[in-house]
A and B are shown apart, each in its own frame.
Chain A
Amino acid sequence: MNARIESKPDPVKNRTTVERKSDREVVVTRTINGPARIVFEAFTKAELLKRWWVPKSMGMTLLSCEVDARVGGKYRLVFDHDPEPFAFFGTYVEVKPYSRLAWTNEESGEAGSVTTVTFEEKGGKTLVVVHDRYPSKEALDAAGGAADAMGETFDQLDELLVALGESSGQ
């Protein structure tokens, strides 16, 4: 009875779009191949969330994932990081089963954004819209722009540190 068809061809991959709506807002959209009820579940249950939330390209290991998806409930994702682990955390501010979810991102203090996700089911598929709203333009640029663009620079800086360490050790 446990007939799982592994060789079934992958369904067509849907497009992910991103748009900077304003100075302080970024909107991401994507259609997921499944009903809203299940997509919502994958967002709100820790054991499911941790299976997909952390992109492999980020090269980070999730140490723990706690989710209490109720209005006022908290979430906390802890990542392995050198020299010490760090956490993303915040509070759910809106939880409307299968259609709408919103949470705060509190790890960066005052500059934290609010993420709102809407789920819209159509013909067995779900359009997911992720809306990130930052308190200021500066906060968005810091989070998305400068900080992100710095990623590669940090790598280079690491190399530089190694090189400098070697030369100063002489």
Chain B
Amino acid sequence: MRERLRYILNHMVQYMRTRLDTSFAALSDATRRGVLEQLGRADASITDLAGTFHMTLTGMKKHVGVLEQAGLVTTKKVGRVRRCQLGPRRLEEETGWLERYRQRWDERFDELDKVVEELTRKEKSDERKNRK
């Protein structure tokens, strides 16, 4: 039973790792982040996006392809135009672990603040003591 669960677990970890890799690779490019921002405001066609980012259609198609592969964007052909929109919920997932990372450090630093304040206070009172 344990063996079986370990097997499932390894697969889950592997799967999440691959997904995060794809997402972070997609997010590592400034144009692609710009495209996500743009799509966060409104859906757009590849032609619109190419215009906004001063790129060729082919270049923009590639970027959108990478974002689509990562699940960050979905596209749909409407007539002769390919419409792009944000993929479902994915970005939150990717920022999730960074936020947890931040919270862990935040908690740590809150405690550090207390320790440092106590030491600072102690030092000041010792100084006063010595001066007397």
Which residues of A are in contact with B by a Cβ distance under 8 Å?
Answer: 1-4, 11, 13-14, 16-20, 22-23, 26, 28, 30, 32-35, 38-39, 41-42, 48, 51-58, 128, 130, 137-138, 141-142, 144-151, 153, 157, 160-161, 164, 168
Which residues of B are in contact with A by a Cβ distance under 8 Å?
Answer: 1, 5, 9, 12-13, 16-17, 20-21, 24, 28, 96-117, 119-121, 123, 125, 128-129
Chain B residues near A3 (CB-CB < 8 A): 125
CA distance A137 to B23 in the complex (A): 12
Beta-carbon contact of A53 and B115 below 8 Å:
no
Min CB distance, B51 to chain A, in Å?
Answer: 30
CA distance A55 to B104 in the complex (A): 6
Chain A residues near B102 (CB-CB < 8 A): 16-18, 28
Beta-carbon contact of B96 and A149 below 8 Å:
yes
Of the candidates A141, A149, A151, A157, the one whose C-beta lies within 8 Å of that of B24 is: A141
CA distance A151 to B21 in the complex (A): 19
Beta-carbon contact of B1 and A164 below 8 Å:
yes
Beta-carbon contact of B21 and A137 below 8 Å:
yes
Min CB distance, B17 to chain A, in Å?
Answer: 4
Q: Which residue of chain A lies nearest to B13 when distances are taken between CB atoms in the complex?
A: A146
Chain A residues near B116 (CB-CB < 8 A): 32-34, 38-39, 42
Q: Which residue of chain A lies nearest to B102 when distances are taken between CB atoms in the complex?
A: A18
Min CB distance, B128 to chain A, in Å?
Answer: 8
In the A-B complex, the 10 residue pairs with the closest CB atoms:
A52-B111, A34-B116, A18-B102, A16-B106, A55-B107, A52-B112, A146-B17, A145-B20, A30-B109, A146-B16
Beta-carbon contact of A146 and B9 below 8 Å:
no
CA distance A164 to B1 in the complex (A): 9
